[in-house]
Structure 1
Amino acid sequence: MTPLSDQTVIITGATDGLGRALAHRLAALGTSLVLHGRSAEKGEELIEELEELTGNDRLAYELADFSSLDEIDALALRLRELDRIDVLVNNAGMGVELAPRESVDGFELTFQVDYLSTYVLSSLLAPRLVGSAPARIVNVASAGQAPIDFDDVMLRGGWDGGQAYCQAKLAQIMLTFDLAEQLRGTGVTVNALHPASYMPTKIVTHLFTPASTIEEGTDNLLRMVADERFATTSGVYVNRDMEARAHAQAYDEDARARLRALSADLTGVAFPTVGAVRSA
């Protein structure tokens, strides 16, 4: 396996919480990092901090807001210019909201930030990952999962913050299973992780009492990035450090097909096909 010091890893949502902690761990190992966030000030601070603490100067920062599909399209185009992508860590997201909000694209905000933008970024970067194989995608999901009501995905008939969050996280896992199947045989693995429950991050502490440490979640996420096992294991949901069963809807092929079609329709980005990713 290629040592982490010779790999390029993209981490979305890297300026806070779990993403920031993972950036520290990988920077200390000499990994080339492309870190994403939506604050230029926080990004500059993070890069300076990592360089000072680790001496790693192979660090870059990319600015994009996951509430805007145009910004994610532009981010993907920039990232496709990288020499290689060994790991894409889809960590950016939001927690349980107290009131409904819409994205600039007119979609329920949690569904867009926690799922649709990850769908777009992963689909657009799939060819680059295949070209860099062996490579892997790690989706930071959650044990909190709820089935998607395809008749009211945006919850306009009755919004609930818990449902919004849990259905978006299940959608991430459904995407994981579909991408893993589609990219089988290309050298790219795709897996989903619940890193830990109620870590003391800003998306948790406004509503819940922390029950796990950032260190626990970071250990579990780093395992998905670095462990040789996940260079070949693909299409699994991992709860902390063990493979687990996701919500039943994740294994419903009809539901996943509906989600793929809906995602392509809402975003204008087609789900990647094997022929397309091999030839791109």
Structure 2
Amino acid sequence: MQDRTVLITGATDGLGRALAHHLAAQGATLILHGRNAAKGQALLAELHDRTGNGRLTFEQADFASLDQIRAMADRLAARDRLDVLVNNAGIGVETIPQRSADGLELTFQVDYLATYMLSCLLTPLLARTAAARSATARPSPAGIVNVSSAGQAPLDFDDVLLERGWDGVQAYCQAKLAQIMLTFDHAELLRDHGVTVNALHPASYMPTKIVTRLFAVQSTLDEGVANTARLVTDPALAAVIGAYFNRARPAQAHHQAYDAVSRARLLEISRRLTGVPFPSTPLQPA
């Protein structure tokens, strides 16, 4: 991992934080995202002290703001390389409806639209990095890992923002299915460019703050880290693209994810809500 640069969103808590420790210990160059600057700087110091890894930076952005997501993506797009984007940041099942700074249903924006924007806007950098690496590097997964969930619910495209009837479970599960739908379209775009795009359910009810306030813990963080890190580091998965994993095994997502018409409608809604088009080619900015 010493020659790999990995961006982890939602890195200051839960699975993202544990994954950061795992990859820092392997020598990866890490870009760690969070919305709290103090927690971010504390994480950098902790990782350096425990691993000796000095190739660590922090990016602050609140995903409840489309402008902040866009600004972070623009900063990152100016970098020389990015091997892997781990879209991990998210909120869990909320008990009351909330709106983002942009007036959108908060769970859909944080859990899905942020993934959409970062993935689209960083596609050219990921593709350029893969092209530069292909002649010399050992095979390894390189691209996008979307941390989704086995909890999936179909989207009602006439009420994606749940304005006619909000439900916290529906909000979470439809956003997680949307991530998988994006995974499949993005995989097709990048299939011939050395960039993998996969999604996974890392583990069920890990001891994270978005779980423990509502649910009983069923899995360890170590299990979730192992399954997520595998998509980042395992050479056996270097050619796997457009897959959904339930933990470590390939699995079937909700049937709506395999419907091309539904995916096209989701991409159009995503473009309309964010102002970011889905890339027509991997090497040109969205």
TM-score bracket for the superposition, by shorter chain length: over 0.9
Query: Is 1:67 the counterpart of 2:64 in the alignment?
Result: yes
1:89-108 matched pairs, under 5 angstroms: 89-108=86-105
Aligned-pair identity (%): 64
How far apart are residue 279 of structure 1 and its match?
4.5
Q: What is the DSSP-based 3-state SS (H/G/I as helix, E as strand, rest coil) of the residue aligned with 1:193? A: strand
Residue 55 (structure 1) aligned to one of 28, 52, 55? 52
Residue 146 (structure 1) aligned to one of 150, 153, 170? 153
Q: Which residue of the partner structure matches residue 19 of structure 1?
A: 16
Residue 261 (structure 1) aligned to one of 256, 268, 272? 268
Deviates most, 229-238 or 6-15:
229-238
Measured against aligned partners, the alpha-carbon deviations of 1:25-80 in whole angstroms (never above 9, x if no partner) come to: 11111110000000001001100000000000000000001111100100001111
How far apart are residue 230 of structure 1 and its match?
2.6
For 1:207 and 1:56, locate their aligned partners in 2 and report how far apart those are by CA, in whole Å. Answer: 36
Q: What is the DSSP-based 3-state SS (H/G/I as helix, E as strand, rest coil) of the residue aligned with 1:278? A: coil
Deviates most, 188-197 or 73-82:
73-82
For 1:279 and 1:80, locate their aligned partners in 2 and report how far apart those are by CA, in whole Å. Answer: 12
For 1:236 and 1:226, locate their aligned partners in 2 and report how far apart those are by CA, in whole Å. Answer: 16
How far apart are residue 186 of structure 1 and its match?
0.8
How far apart are residue 156 of structure 1 and its match?
1.1
Question: Any runs of at least 4 consecutive aligned residues in structure 1 with deviations exceeding 6 A, and if so which?
Answer: none
Q: What is the DSSP-based 3-state SS (H/G/I as helix, E as strand, rest coil) of the residue aligned with 2:283? A: helix
Query: Is 1:37 the counterpart of 2:34 in the alignment?
Result: yes
Q: What is the DSSP-based 3-state SS (H/G/I as helix, E as strand, rest coil) of the residue aligned with 2:192? A: coil
RMSD: 0.8
For 1:83 and 1:152, locate their aligned partners in 2 and report how far apart those are by CA, in whole Å. Answer: 40
Q: Which residue of the partner structure matches residue 283 of structure 2?
A: 278
Q: Which residue of the partner structure matches residue 182 of structure 1?
A: 189
Q: Which amino acid aligns with 2:153?
A: A
Q: Which residue of the partner structure matches residue 235 of structure 1?
A: 242
Q: Which amino acid aligns with 2:253?
A: A
Q: Assess if the C-alpha contact under 8 Å between 1:10 and 1:89 holds in 2.
A: yes
Contiguous gaps of at least 5 residues in structure 1: none
How far apart are residue 83 of structure 1 and its match?
1.6
For 1:154 and 1:106, locate their aligned partners in 2 and report how far apart those are by CA, in whole Å. Answer: 10
Q: Assess if the C-alpha contact under 8 Å between 1:147 and 1:247 holds in 2.
A: yes
How far apart are residue 182 of structure 1 and its match?
1.1
Q: Which amino acid aligns with 2:53?
A: N
Measured against aligned partners, the alpha-carbon deviations of 1:209-241 in whole angstroms (never above 9, x if no partner) come to: 000000000000110110113321100000000
TM-score, normalising length from structure 1? 0.97
Q: Which residue of the partner structure matches residue 250 of structure 1?
A: 257
For 1:210 and 1:272, locate their aligned partners in 2 and report how far apart those are by CA, in whole Å. Answer: 39
For 1:62 and 1:230, locate their aligned partners in 2 and report how far apart those are by CA, in whole Å. Answer: 28
- How many pairs align? 275
Q: What is the DSSP-based 3-state SS (H/G/I as helix, E as strand, rest coil) of the residue aligned with 1:139? A: strand
Q: Assess if the C-alpha contact under 8 Å between 1:10 and 1:33 holds in 2.
A: yes
Q: Assess if the C-alpha contact under 8 Å between 1:174 and 1:250 holds in 2.
A: yes
Measured against aligned partners, the alpha-carbon deviations of 1:95-114 in whole angstroms (never above 9, x if no partner) come to: 00000000011110000000
